[in-house]
Structure 1
Amino acid sequence: MPEVIMNGPEGRLEGRYQPGKGSDAPIALMLHPHPQHGGTMNNKVVYTLYQVFAQRGFAVLRFNFRGVGRSQGSFDRGEGELSDAASALDWLQSVNPNAKACWIAGYSFGAWIGMQLLMRRPEITGFISVAPPANIYDFGFLAPCPSSGLMIHGEKDELVPHESVAKLVQKLSNQRDIQIDYKLIKGATHFFQDHLDQVAERVDDYLEALYPTAKPKAKTRAAAR
């Protein structure tokens, strides 16, 4: 799990990178929660997503937005963080020029940033959005949504009512040629304590349908490293 330093719009961006299996391995970028509320690339949900993609042979990158950890700059209300994500994707693509697919995965604030990046980068194949804050941020820019994906939410999310996410899912699902797989995890809060294995299973099952493997699925350890 090599540490990497990338050039970002406001200076260096700190990340962790797992090379893929094969020169044409698909790539995946992980985006963390709100920087002003303790969000980092070591968040347990983000690390869980990172592990699932890595175990499936993807080349995977997670990184700290500006002002977090060793990443330079300061919080920029989402505009700068979107630029950070674009720079991180540029780096990931530069070291994997033959990647056969490109995925974005985000949690909470990171899900909002990820969906904006999806709109700006047509090469993104699909997305995973965990606890997208549909009651806090406007997702109206997804008109139309350019790609299908998976949304996961906690039934007992105390910050983002699941009804607001279900409404967003319904709106996107009504768009032509778009399929949103919506998984509501029973008993889970916004932070998914004691439910990380279920998050991993939902994501792994979704990816298995798209990129089937002959080998048995590996267990995902939820603790961050």
Structure 2
Amino acid sequence: MPEVIFNGPAGRLEGRYQPAKQKNAPIAIILHPHPQFGGTMNNQIVYQLFYMFQQRGFTTLRFNFRGIGRSQGAFDHGAGELSDAAGALDWVQSLHPDSKSCWVAGYSFGSWIGMQLLMRRPEIEGFISVAPQPNTYDFSFLAPCPSSGLIIHGDADRVAPEKDVQGLVEKLKTQKGILITQKTMPGANHFFSGQVDALMGECSDYLDARLRGELVPEPAAKRIR
């Protein structure tokens, strides 16, 4: 997959980019865990999510947030990282103007950034949020959440306890016009130790169902944007 360097809001950003063969293919952006706790675009789960979308014909990008790897800038507590993600999506869209839809997938800190990007960009029609941390980060901006998606986490996650994720899911499920799918993996910790293959199986099953037109509300119930 091609290594790329593109301009971000705080300098150059380093990424891995795989264009789809079809000009109008959907775009997928994959966002990595917390930069100050070892998170990079080469995280195993981030890489596997990238590969999953690539295999299904998406134009796919993962990249290092500012200050990580060859990306310029310094950690900005989420605000700058959200700007990085928006800039990354702008960059892919400039190369693929015929692409009309987009997905965002994030793991841990990346899922928080991804959900914020979802609120800003109406073309994002689906999301995969792996091990979000509503106990650490404020998700109250999801009012309302504009797209259907998957929230997947483990019941042995001490970083993001199950009860906190459950609270977020229940709040989102009260909204009309979207469908939140939740998967709780038995025995999985925050890093899905020994369970990455099972995690990817669940994510792949969800994405395949969505691509078949399943797991979304009836068209009549869709929120007008």
* TM bracket (short chain): over 0.9
What is the letter of the counterpart of residue 32 of structure 2? H
1:37 corresponds to: 37
1:223 corresponds to: none
2:112 corresponds to: 112
2:80 corresponds to: 80
2:103 corresponds to: 103
Deviating more after overlay: 17-26 vs 144-153 = 17-26
Query: Once the 2 structures are TM-superposed, how far is the Cα of residue 154 of structure 1 from its aligned partner?
Result: 1.1
Count of residue pairs brought into register by the alignment: 213
Distance across 2 between alignment mates of 1:98 and 1:196: 34
Query: Once the 2 structures are TM-superposed, how far is the Cα of residue 97 of structure 1 from its aligned partner?
Result: 1.3
2:198 corresponds to: 198
1:119-130 paired onto structure 2 within 5 Å: 119-130=119-130
Query: Does the CA-based 8 Å contact 2:100-2:123 persist in structure 1?
Result: no
Secondary structure (helix, strand or coil) at the match of 2:84 reads: helix
Query: Once the 2 structures are TM-superposed, how far is the Cα of residue 21 of structure 1 from its aligned partner?
Result: 3.3
CA deviations over 1:171-209 (Å, ceiling 9, x no partner): 001001121100111111100111111111111111111
What is the letter of the counterpart of residue 78 of structure 2? G
Deviating more after overlay: 191-200 vs 29-38 = 191-200
What is the letter of the counterpart of residue 46 of structure 2? V
2:215 corresponds to: none
Distance across 2 between alignment mates of 1:165 and 1:179: 16
Structure 1 segments unaligned to the other structure (5+ residues): 213-225
Query: Does the CA-based 8 Å contact 2:104-2:126 persist in structure 1?
Result: yes
Q: Which runs of 4+ in 1 moved over 6 A?
A: none
What is the letter of the counterpart of residue 187 of structure 1? G
**Identical aligned residues as a percent:** 65
Structure 2 segments unaligned to the other structure (5+ residues): 213-225
The structure with higher relative contact order (CA 8 Å, sep 6+) is 1
Query: Once the 2 structures are TM-superposed, how far is the Cα of residue 210 of structure 1 from its aligned partner?
Result: 2.0
CA deviations over 1:105-146 (Å, ceiling 9, x no partner): 000000000111111111111111000011101100100111
Distance across 1 between alignment mates of 2:175 and 2:33: 27
Query: Quick check: 1:15 aligned with 2:7?
Result: no
1:203-222 paired onto structure 2 within 5 Å: 203-212=203-212
TM-score for the superposition, normalised by structure 2? 0.92
Distance across 2 between alignment mates of 1:66 and 1:103: 21
Secondary structure (helix, strand or coil) at the match of 1:4 reads: strand
Secondary structure (helix, strand or coil) at the match of 2:206 reads: helix
Distance across 2 between alignment mates of 1:114 and 1:51: 18
CA deviations over 1:2-50 (Å, ceiling 9, x no partner): 0011100111000001111311111100000000000000011111111
What is the letter of the counterpart of residue 146 of structure 2? P
RMSD of equivalent CA atoms: 1.2
2:162 corresponds to: 162
What is the letter of the counterpart of residue 166 of structure 1? Q
Query: Once the 2 structures are TM-superposed, how far is the Cα of residue 64 of structure 1 from its aligned partner?
Result: 0.2
Distance across 2 between alignment mates of 1:18 and 1:186: 33
